[in-house]
């Protein structure tokens, strides 16, 4: 696991964007696994800026997002489809038909899970998967559990996760209780993983992920076994690590 230390949130975004840009430049028809939340915002802003300056072309890229809230349509301002459209897709030349987010309003959610797994398989898997990490070690919405869930599945969000996301809603009562999320298998099968961590609130989770045991109690710890995982984090997020031997 490679660790890239950055001083600021903006620098984290720049360094993560550089890795994604290199992937798209090397393979214009890349399949990008994308994340939502506050962590990737500076990364998406940098990618959009490079597109605007003519340095990046997303016309052949396909995207698959990690997750979506159950019960929120894509037009809802707090849905992850809306987030992606607002913060990235509308600012680059990616084909909307090539952008994929699991549906949280499907009539048959289990069928939607199967469809999404098949979609990723039909695409040949993910070339680069961008991840954030939750304060409890979740990746996507793979919450702490007694086992790793391989495929796309419906998850009950922990109270800690709902509290962390309540800042995006008028009240915690509006935060959905369930989500549909990509499982561990397609994440681990991605050719490259880039995980972003920013701030003291992610320090313990990052420490557990990198230096703790591999356990579903910290879902991100499975990334210790990934063949090409890069962590891009600021000094506060890295503050609890005993050593950063791979730091750049």
| Catalytic sites, residue numbers | 67, 136, 138, 143
d(CA 27, CA 125): 14
Strands, sheet with 178-181, edge to edge from the N-terminal-most edge strand? 67-69, 178-181, 153-156
Cα pseudo-dihedral 113, 168, 205, 33, rounded to 10: 40
Domain assignment present for residue 6? The answer is: yes
Domain assignment present for residue 241? The answer is: no
What is the phi/psi pair of residue 178, to 5°? -135, 160
Taking the whole predicted model, whether its pTM rises above 0.75 is answered as: yes
d(CA 33, CA 120): 10
On whether the CB atoms of residues 178 and 70 are closer than 8 A, the answer is yes
Provide the β-strand partners of residue 34.
Answer: 65
In this predicted structure, the answer to whether residue 2 has a pLDDT above a threshold of 80 is yes
Residue 162: how many CB atoms within 10 A of its CB? 16
CATH assignment at residue 102: 3.40.50.1360
Residue 207: how many CB atoms within 10 A of its CB? 18
In this predicted structure, the answer to whether residue 246 has a pLDDT above a threshold of 50 is no
CA angle 17, 10, 38 (to 5 degrees): 80
Q: pLDDT per residue over 151-168, tens digit each?
A: 999 999 889 889 988 888
Domain assignment present for residue 79? The answer is: yes
Across 190-216, average pLDDT: 97
Domain assignment present for residue 247? The answer is: no
Domain assignment present for residue 76? The answer is: yes
Domain assignment present for residue 240? The answer is: no
In this predicted structure, the answer to whether residue 244 has a pLDDT above a threshold of 60 is no
User: What is the domain range of residue 76?
Assistant: 2-234
Closest Cα to residue 6, out of 196, 158, 184?
Answer: 196
Domain count, the chain: 1
Q: pLDDT per residue over 232-243, tens digit each?
A: 999 999 999 865
pLDDT for 165: 85
pLDDT for 242: 67
Q: Which secondary-structure segment (H or E) carries 63? A: strand 62-65
Q: pLDDT per residue over 173-196, tens digit each?
A: 999 999 999 999 999 999 999 999
pLDDT for 161: 86
């Amino acid at each position: 696991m490679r660790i890239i230390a950055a001083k600021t949130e903006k620098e984290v975004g720049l360094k993560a964007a550089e890795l994604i840009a290199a992937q798209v430049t090397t393979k214009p028809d890349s399949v990008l696994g994308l994340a939502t939340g506050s962590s990737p915002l500076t990364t998406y802003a940098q990618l959009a800026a490079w597109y605007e300056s003519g340095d990046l072309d997303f016309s052949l890229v396909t995207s698959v997002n990690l997750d979506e809230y159950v019960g929120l349509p894509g037009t809802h301002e707090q849905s992850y489809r809306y987030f992606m459209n607002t913060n990235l897709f509308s600012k680059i030349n990616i084909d909307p038909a090539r952008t994929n987010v699991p549906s949280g309003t499907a009539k048959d959610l289990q069928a939607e899970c199967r469809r999404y797994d098949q979609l990723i398989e039909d695409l040949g898997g993910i070339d680069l998967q961008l991840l954030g990490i939750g304060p409890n070690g979740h990746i996507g919405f793979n919450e702490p559990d007694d086992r790793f869930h391989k495929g796309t599945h419906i998850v009950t969000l922990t109270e800690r996760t709902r509290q962390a996301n309540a800042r995006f809603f008028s009240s915690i009562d509006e935060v959905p209780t369930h989500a549909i999320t990509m499982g561990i298998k397609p994440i681990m099968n991605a050719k490259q993983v880039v995980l972003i961590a920013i701030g003291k609130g992610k320090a313990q989770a990052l420490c557990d992920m990198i230096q703790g045991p591999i356990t579903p109690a910290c879902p991100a710890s499975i990334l210790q076994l990934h063949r090409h995982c890069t962590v891009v984090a600021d000094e506060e997020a890295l503050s609890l690590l005993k050593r950063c031997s791979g730091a750049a």
